[in-house]
Amino acid sequence: MSDESPNRTFFHQRCGSRPTLRGGNQRNLNNRSYAEGYGPTGSTRISAVSATYFLIALNTGVFAGWVYAQATQEQRLLRTLRQNFTLSWQNWREGRQWTILTSAFSHKNIVHFAFNMLTFSTFGTMLSWVPGIGAFHLLTLSLGSGLAGSAAWLYQKQMPSESGMGKILGSFGQSGSAERQSALGASGMVVGVGAAAACLMPWAQVRVFFIPMPLWLATIGFAAVDTYYVNSDKSPIGHAAHLGGVLGGVVYYLCFLRGYGGIWMWMKMRGRL
């Protein structure tokens, strides 16, 4: 998935609105459109881009650790990475609850790492052009979506039935080998940022397998695929984590970003809210 509109024209709203923006001098902002933004030197854009590359750098560091450990077969480092940068019920029960977040910065495979980072860079750059969305929103949205994705994966896999949580969750998910299964990757974080971007700029043009389409359609399409395969034993992908990340991104938009425009303003202008 790649950004097809470097000239920022994707921020023009189909309804022709010029939304009032949060922050700054309101008198000057009332006449701005998303396409005008703050320009390439705007402080919020710079901070948002910096936050995006900071998160990519964290992912790169952990990925480098995996590459080195696997190439050298350094067992101590491999064990450290498995215990601290993969998500599993075993790690959770042994007191390593931080893995619900650290696993979202962990990749073993170069294709998995490259795809997630390229897509995350695209979505982060798109959000950076929205006036007022800076590093704080980028970081909290990313971390919140990553946590939501990890929580959804754990819930879908279900804690082993002998534990108290397993009794609460009942038969949901795959309980048989749940404790031995593990997950890692920034996918939940990536799709959460993408979902928020889709709420803010649904008509932004992106390419999916070289096919151009609006961002809202791509987001719904991937969510539909994840829903279809969420309980598949044959798919190695953490579809539940993707769905949790999308939910996290949408909730963050509704709670903290709707004042910056997007579908919420579009619906209000048509008297639906």
Write out the chain's pLDDT in tens, 273 residues: 333 333 333 333 333 333 333 434 433 333 333 433 334 445 789 999 999 999 999 999 999 999 999 999 999 999 999 999 999 999 999 999 999 999 999 999 999 999 999 999 999 999 999 999 999 999 999 999 999 999 999 999 874 444 444 443 333 333 345 556 899 999 999 999 999 999 999 999 999 988 999 999 999 999 999 999 998 888 889 999 999 999 999 999 999 999 999 998 888 887 755
In sequence order, what DSSP letters do the residues of 255-271 get, joined into one string?
A: IIIGGG-THHHHHHHTT
Query: Which is it for the CA torsion 246, 168, 103, 107, positive or negative?
Result: negative
Task: Give the CATH architecture of domain 2-269.
Answer: Up-down Bundle (1.20)
The residues spanned by each domain of the chain are 2-269
- Exposed, middle or buried by CB within 10 Å (0-12, 13-18, 19+), for 130? buried
- pTM for the complete prediction? 0.79
Tell the residue number behind the tokens 């750098």, with chain if given: 57
Residue 15 CA to residue 27 CA, distance in Å, equals 22
Q: Are the beta carbons of 186 and 62 closer than 8 angstroms?
A: no
Question: In angstroms, what CA-CA distances link 128 with 5, 35, 102, 240?
Answer: 14, 12, 24, 28
Question: DSSP secondary structure string, 189-230?
Answer: HHHHHHHHHHHH-TT-EEEETTEEEEHHHHHHHHHHHHHHHT
Let me know: does 120 contact 158? Beta carbons within 8 Å: no
Q: Which two tokens stand for residue 266?
A: 């579009």
Confidence (pLDDT) at 233: 83
Contact status, residue 99 vs residue 184, Cβ threshold 8 Å? no
**Stretch (H or E) spanning 23:** none
d(CA 168, CA 162): 11
